[in-house]
Structure 1
Amino acid sequence: MAKTIFITGASRGFGKLWAEALLQRGDKVIATARDIKSLDDLVKKYGNNILPLQLDVVDRAAGYAAIQKAKEHFGSIDVLINNAGYGLFGSVEETSEQDARSIMETNFFGLLWLTQAVLPIMRAQGHGHIIQVSSVVGLIGIPVLGVYNASKFAVEGVSETLATEVKGFGINITLVEPNSYSTDWGGSSASHAAAMPEYEGVKTAFYAALSDDMFGIPEATTPAMLKLIDSNNPPLRLFLGKYSYPLVKQNYESRMAEWDTWKEVADKAHGK
């Protein structure tokens, strides 16, 4: 059965790939982008099945208006995919106030505003699925991406809580956690903090540890996303790519070992 799907950040990368895959199989798609001309090819090809909307997700009022327009146009919103976001490269010390505020406005607050806007519609329908595009680095911290990591940790926290609050309304929440992919995320769409020479060694070691195999093929994510959207019992979390699982497993095993080492100290701090 065809669904109506609202997807942000549909101008390129994952957003455009997924939007077109959904349109190809007959779903109705509300596709948003800051530059609406980037959606002209999809409009020409899929006609009335796509509603293109100009949207900068940091504008809360515009986000609410876009959700309402989508509801009025198609009559329902079955799925919201919060995909809009960008990368910020730089050490924590290098990151300026504006760098930090800007990425949180887009990656976290933009996602939060769209989520809040769609919830009344999904509650009234008695069903809905909100898919939050997070990252493997929303679960583990790595160097050079500290404040980007923080934006995705925030997405993880609010979404896990939200899932417990809206399950009774028939609304599912899924956090999609990709590893690295060969999209423009790390290219022209990314932001870079002003470099400090003190961190050159950290950056050199970080980039030297990367290999071509670590970067997945973006098109390969489409079947997983379609299966997720079609699931009657979608997971709270879904990794994309073969590197997410081992990275998180190793990190969480290390956390448990450290917590175990300090458990006696922690227990005594309870006081009774």
Structure 2
Amino acid sequence: MKSKVILITGASRGLGKIWAEAFLKRGDKVIATARNIDSLTELKAAYGEAILPLQLNVNDRGQCFAVVKQANEHFGGIDILINNAGYGLFGAIEETSEQEARDQFDTNVFGLLWMTQSIIPVMREQGHGHIIQISSLLGIVSGPVLGIYNASKWAIEALSESLAAEVKGFGINVSIIEPNAFGTDWSGDSAIKAKSIAHYDGIKETFYGYFKPEMIGYPEATVPAILKLADSEQPPLRLFLGKFTLPRVQQVYADRLAVWDSWKEVAIAAHGH
């Protein structure tokens, strides 16, 4: 199989770094971006010219376009973009400050949007490409004390569905990855926690207590899935990662459909004719 050129944002740690190394290990070329590329020194030492580490703050739209231009010129094309950069914001809706909410959307939504916009002309001109957006189970099924994070992922879902229809005719595929919880530092050092209000202590305790050790996936176990997705000629719009994702979505959607159906006559009557 011909080697691919993959651009991964947020490649300094977690799933982004694990996937970057997996692609490199099998002979692909990787453009690995991060706010601090010092964390990519080991990969550069191990894989040499196959990896191009580039500093990038995805919040900067101009920088996104500049990085894509540099990467495209360096490798002569970009087959896959993995929009992985993002972080978690923990806190109830009332607890979240204006700046925290804006920062969350700047990175998780607008950063992904700028990278997506910058890669489309490259992929359109070459006649093929695959844009992989990292969302979350919480982009489909929301929950408490992560409301703004959930909202950012729901935005990615809608944006990416529209995008898939718009760019299909250019030979560009779009996939949304929906992981359940994995053992990265997503909820640790890389997370932001809003200033606590005591009224929400109980619901936080219940929510955090829900997660048992067996519900946390091993990040390295996602490698075969991401490689298979990257190699697929007809990739799915959505790919769930982890064994708890699909059952949770099935239950929530069954409950939603039941409620919607119970209000069906009210909804029809509201049409007016």
* TM-score class normalised by the smaller sequence: over 0.9
* Code of the aligned partner of 1:51: L
* Code of the aligned partner of 1:12: R
The residue that corresponds to 2:267 in the other structure is 266
Partner of 2:81, secondary structure, is: strand
Partner of 2:268, secondary structure, is: helix
Alignment of 1:9-48 (within 5 A): 9-48=10-49
Q: Does 2:69 correspond to 1:68?
A: yes
CA–CA distance in structure 2, aligned partners of residues 37 and 208 of structure 1: 36
The residue that corresponds to 1:241 in the other structure is 242
* Code of the aligned partner of 1:176: I
CA–CA distance in structure 2, aligned partners of residues 15 and 205 of structure 1: 30
* Code of the aligned partner of 1:6: L
Structure 1 segments, 4+ long, off by >6 Å, are: none
Per-residue deviation, 1:208:
1.5
Structure 1 residues 209-240: Cα deviation after superposition (integer angstroms, max 9, x where no partner): 11001100000000000000000110000000
CA–CA distance in structure 1, aligned partners of residues 188 and 256 of structure 2: 32
* Code of the aligned partner of 1:33: A
CA–CA distance in structure 2, aligned partners of residues 156 and 208 of structure 1: 27
CA–CA distance in structure 1, aligned partners of residues 205 and 52 of structure 2: 44
CA–CA distance in structure 2, aligned partners of residues 251 and 95 of structure 1: 26
Alignment of 1:78-117 (within 5 A): 78-117=79-118
Structure 1 residues 170-192: Cα deviation after superposition (integer angstroms, max 9, x where no partner): 10000000000000000000000
RMSD over equivalenced CA pairs, Å: 0.5
Partner of 2:186, secondary structure, is: helix
Partner of 2:46, secondary structure, is: helix
The residue that corresponds to 1:128 in the other structure is 129
Structure 1 residues 96-148: Cα deviation after superposition (integer angstroms, max 9, x where no partner): 10110001000000000000000001001110000000000000111111100
Per-residue deviation, 1:11:
0.3
* Code of the aligned partner of 2:3: A
Per-residue deviation, 1:207:
1.3
* Code of the aligned partner of 1:218: P
Structure 1 residues 78-112: Cα deviation after superposition (integer angstroms, max 9, x where no partner): 00000000001111111110110001000000000
* Code of the aligned partner of 2:119: V
The residue that corresponds to 1:220 in the other structure is 221
CA–CA distance in structure 1, aligned partners of residues 210 and 14 of structure 2: 24
Partner of 1:85, secondary structure, is: coil
5+ residue gaps, structure 1, are: none
The residue that corresponds to 2:186 in the other structure is 185
Return the TM-score normalized by structure 1: 0.99
* Code of the aligned partner of 1:182: G
The residue that corresponds to 2:172 in the other structure is 171
Partner of 2:158, secondary structure, is: helix
CA–CA distance in structure 1, aligned partners of residues 140 and 160 of structure 2: 13
CA–CA distance in structure 1, aligned partners of residues 70 and 167 of structure 2: 23
Per-residue deviation, 1:36:
1.0
CA–CA distance in structure 1, aligned partners of residues 96 and 253 of structure 2: 27
Structure 1 residues 187-210: Cα deviation after superposition (integer angstroms, max 9, x where no partner): 000000000000001001111211
CA–CA distance in structure 1, aligned partners of residues 46 and 90 of structure 2: 36
CA–CA distance in structure 2, aligned partners of residues 25 and 140 of structure 1: 34
Structure 1 residues 9-31: Cα deviation after superposition (integer angstroms, max 9, x where no partner): 00000000000000000100000
Partner of 1:186, secondary structure, is: coil
5+ residue gaps, structure 2, are: none
Aligned pair count?
272
Partner of 1:29, secondary structure, is: strand
Partner of 1:185, secondary structure, is: coil
* Code of the aligned partner of 1:85: G
